[in-house]
């Protein structure tokens, strides 16, 4: 913000909080100089969601204290971080052999996103639709049946016994125990059951993952699977 924009922001803040108004000309000049020194790299507004006046208004909605320059800088830094966290660097159009131009385009795109001048570039999502899929890719997926080839899955099995046991059970037609919440150890769906070590004073000392789910969780998954099967069969019988 330049000095004119800082003066406009201070005038807006003065309407929200008369305590911030400086009636003495010297004090007003010092206040303007201080805010300009601290907010010179913060824009008044951007085309994509940032407005310093909104930050000032949010401050007074949540705090009874007079606003300080830091109360505008903090939301601006959060705004920049959030936008960069959403940004997925697109492939530059520059020649990859020209390292300087390639890097400059990447850096320029990030600066534009962080400054609110450009929208973040989102990573392309992988959809479940089979329409328009490359025939060679479709044949490859049909061949391996999973994004993890069987050989790699077998090699990983000793290092993730809970997942290996789950996949083996599902392959054999048994209910997927990890699809339900365990009422014994309170493990959420998708998480392995945990073994609790109880101390002398009945306090829990540690929680370690189990390779196999608790029996009660297996029973609950089997009951839900049977219920779903019954619901599917009823319309067919009707």
Q: Give the model confidence (pLDDT) of 57-91 as tens digits.
A: 999 999 999 999 999 999 999 999 999 888 888 88
| pLDDT of 223 over the 70 cut | yes
CA-only gyration radius of the chain, Å: 30
Looking at residue 128, what is its pLDDT?
55
- Nearby residues of 89 by Cβ (< 8 Å), 6 or more positions away: 106, 109, 110, 121
- Nearby residues of 139 by Cβ (< 8 Å), 6 or more positions away: none
Confidence of residue 9 (pLDDT cuts 50, 70, 90): very high
What is the tens place of the pLDDT at every residue in 92-139?
888 888 899 989 999 999 999 998 898 888 776 655 555 556 677 667
Q: Which has the higher per-residue pLDDT, 79 or 227?
A: 79
Burial of residue 115, with CB atoms counted within 10 A of its CB: 0-12 exposed, 13-18 middle, 19 or more buried: middle
Phi-psi region of 62 (alpha: psi -120 to 50; beta: other; left: phi over 0): alpha
Looking at residue 58, what is its pLDDT?
94
Q: Which has the higher per-residue pLDDT, 163 or 103?
A: 103
Taking residues 20-29, report their average pLDDT: 92
Are the C-beta atoms of residues 148 and 137 closer than 8 Å to each other?
Answer: no
């Amino acid at each position: 913000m330049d000095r004119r924009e800082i003066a406009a922001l201070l005038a807006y803040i003065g309407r929200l909080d008369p305590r911030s108004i400086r009636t003495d000309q010297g004090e007003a000049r010092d206040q303007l100089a201080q805010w300009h020194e601290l907010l010179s790299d913060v824009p008044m507004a951007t085309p994509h969601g940032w407005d310093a006046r909104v930050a000032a208004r949010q401050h007074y909605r949540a705090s009874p204290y007079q606003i300080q320059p830091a109360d505008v800088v903090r939301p601006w830094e959060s705004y920049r971080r959030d936008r960069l966290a959403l940004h997925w660097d697109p492939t530059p159009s520059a020649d990859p052999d020209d390292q300087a131009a390639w890097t400059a385009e990447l850096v320029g795109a990030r600066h534009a996103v962080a400054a609110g001048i450009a929208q973040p570039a989102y990573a392309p999502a992988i959809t479940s639709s089979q329409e328009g899929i490359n025939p060679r890719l479709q044949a490859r997926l049909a061949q391996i049946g999973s994004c993890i080839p069987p050989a790699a899955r077998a090699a990983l099995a000793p290092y993730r016994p809970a997942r290996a046991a789950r996949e083996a059970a599902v392959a054999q037609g048994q209910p997927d125990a990890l699809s339900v919440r365990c009422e014994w150890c309170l493990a959420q769906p998708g998480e392995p059951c945990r073994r609790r070590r109880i101390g002398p004073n009945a306090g829990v000392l540690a929680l370690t993952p189990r390779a196999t789910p608790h029996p009660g969780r297996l029973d609950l998954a089997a009951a839900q699977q049977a219920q779903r099967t019954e619901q599917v069969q009823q319309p067919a019988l009707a």
